[in-house]
Amino acid sequence: MTRDAFAEWPVRFGRPGALVLERLARARADHGSVGPEDLDRIAREAGWPVAAVTGTASFYADFAGGRRGRRHVRVCEGTSCFATTRGRHAERLEAALGVRRGECAADGSVSLQGVYCLGFCYASPAAMDGTTPRVGPVLGEPAPEIPYRNAARRAVLGAGLTGEEEAWRVWPRVLADGSPERVLAEVAGAGLRGRGGAAFPAADKWSAGARGPAPRYVVANGDEGDPGSFADRRLLMERDPHRVLEGLALTALAVDARKGFVLVRSEYPAAVERMRAAVDEAREAGHLGADAHGSGFDFDVRVVEGAGSYVAGEETALLRALQGLRGGVRPRPPYPTERGVAGRPTVVNNVETLAAVPWIVRHGGAAYAELGAPGEGGTKLVCLSERFRRPGVYEVEFGASLRFVVEELGEGLRDGHTLRALQVGGPLGGFLGPRELDLPLRTEALAGAGVALGHGSLVAVDTGVPPDALLRHTWTFAASESCGACVPCRVGTRRGLELAERIGGAAEDVDGVLAEQDRLAEVMAVGSLCAFGRDVPGAVRSLVRVYHDELTGGGA
């Protein structure tokens, strides 16, 4: 296995790098950019080589970009914003501000940065003016509250939002009982799978982590970076953060971990603030800290803000980010449950996964398994984009049909638009045509149709969106967000974008270009290091399948 000297530095020399991202962010805030003197100072403070700190600063978009102005605007270039404006929103904002993406005005008054994504897909197009979210043309109105509706027999993830259950009701009782085995048993009986996209059984991951030597760590992955997804951010982390923390605490008890982390994307400043406030409140209430509720169990949590990287949502890259390193993907094995934070066993769960744990422990795994479909029980949060008549987050049971979600819950498309494609599970999930909506919301059924459920986002693409532009948009995202750790993905995404840019010319051999693209996709699918590079080909192939006739000139 290839050794990473910088990744081993905190383990070998006892010099943790958790504060490196914060120090870099502070330097950027103070000076508008991160300069050589900042890198030298931070390296001395952290006891790290300057090269390691420089590598981190050059990797993340928040530090590697140009100088930031006194007013910094981030414009969303995610799929929902693209579909709403046909990709023109960023250009309009450039014209309005008088500055191009990635640049700062000469007088330092304003800078503009393109990002994927801000998480306001239910009201796109969106931009972040400083820390104030704006939606609509140019810098329009303040973002509205996210709509949430429960369409399951029982609200699990939204139990706090509906007022049915308060957070921190399960934790004190479990501590009093002194039964971490019960927590693991109920989660195993529920059949809870990871909600971040991999759908790995949560109990199996916890058991693997618990077998490793102490100290152990637990991590809440709040890096909900899939354009089209917004349930983790505003629904859970902003509006019910204590439920997430309680789920993390129960996980820690089950695996006997005494320290937890929550990583939140920097594109979600309100979520960062709310999670940090919730940690403070939980400490004051005695839920966190030394000897929680007099049980003898010590557990505390630290919230870490990301720095602008989609791939840092992958668990091995996320753990590197937590330690102040470049967010590149690490080969597996060893898995994080064997070697994670500081080289110790670490259990990483998505925010939505953790939010289900308190309900499961309170009501029992069997009650959770009764919801949903045989073999895939429980509920899922699905996100409907702005093109729907009723956009927002819906809690549905596994097994519900996409047609039910799209036509009954979402009530179809707004303003007379006609659905041409449905992007499922974000940029790496894939596309379905309008005739494929009878598929059930089940991981295996969707995989059989060539798409992945992912975070559960559903982005509607209407007939007015040019398919060649949508293909370029997909490859642009892939090329922009590849971490560059492996050649098939680093080179393949850029070559894919070059091929996509050739489609649309009158004299172009589109069939030949698509054939070359398919060969490239095969190399990426087989040779890429992580799911990012392996999943881009499936997303592209599904798009070509849905739009084949339009792309090749055969008509709709």
The total number of structural domains that make up the chain: 5
DSSP 50-71: HHHHHHHHHHSHHHHS----SE
Q: Is residue 13 predicted with pLDDT exceeding 70?
A: no
Q: Same domain, yes or no, for 321 and 210?
A: yes
CATH number of the domain residue 332 falls in: 3.40.50.11540
Q: Is the dihedral of CA 234, 237, 238, 242 positive or negative?
A: positive
Q: Same domain, yes or no, for 183 and 282?
A: yes
Q: Same domain, yes or no, for 436 and 334?
A: no
Q: Same domain, yes or no, for 135 and 174?
A: no
- Give the residue from 462, 478, 494 where a domain finishes: 462
Q: Is residue 164 predicted with pLDDT exceeding 80?
A: yes
Q: Same domain, yes or no, for 154 and 135?
A: no
Q: What is the mean pLDDT of residues 218-242?
A: 90
Average pLDDT across the chain, whole number:
92
Q: What is the mean pLDDT of residues 5-34?
A: 75
CA-based R_g, the chain, Å: 23
**Predicted pLDDT at 440:** 97
- Give the residue from 326, 346, 370 where a domain finishes: 370
CATH number of the domain residue 382 falls in: 3.10.20.600
Q: Same domain, yes or no, for 478 and 339?
A: no
- Give the residue from 59, 81, 105 where a domain finishes: 59
Could you report the per-residue pLDDT of 456-472, keeping only the tens digit for each? Answer: 999 999 999 999 999 99
Domain assignment of residue 64, yes or no: no
Instruction: Measure the CA–CA gap between 88 and 258, rounded to whole angstroms.
Output: 48
Instruction: Measure the CA–CA gap between 393 and 229, rounded to whole angstroms.
Output: 9
Q: Same domain, yes or no, for 214 and 287?
A: yes
Q: Same domain, yes or no, for 55 and 118?
A: no
Q: Same domain, yes or no, for 219 and 184?
A: yes
Domain assignment of residue 436, yes or no: yes
CATH number of the domain residue 523 falls in: 1.20.1440.230
Q: Same domain, yes or no, for 113 and 48?
A: no
Distances from the Cα of 443 to the Cαs of 196, 288, 398, 402, 422, in angstroms? 12, 35, 9, 12, 16
**Other beta carbons within 10 Å of 79:** 27
| Confidence label for 31 from pLDDT (cuts 50, 70 and 90) | confident
CATH number of the domain residue 77 falls in: 3.40.30.10
* Furthest CA-CA distance within the chain: 75
Q: Same domain, yes or no, for 234 and 321?
A: yes
Could you report the per-residue pLDDT of 481-529, keeping only the tens digit for each? Answer: 998 889 999 999 999 999 999 987 655 789 999 999 999 999 999 999 9
Q: What is the residue range of 124's domain?
A: 71-139
**Predicted pLDDT at 329:** 85
Domain assignment of residue 400, yes or no: yes
* Edge-first strand listing for the sheet containing 110-115: 103-104, 110-115, 71-76, 126-129, 132-135, 141-142
Q: Same domain, yes or no, for 344 and 211?
A: yes
Domain assignment of residue 320, yes or no: yes
Domain assignment of residue 86, yes or no: yes
Q: Is residue 197 predicted with pLDDT exceeding 90?
A: no
Could you report the per-residue pLDDT of 266-290, keeping only the tens digit for each? Answer: 999 999 999 999 999 999 999 999 9
Domain assignment of residue 65, yes or no: no
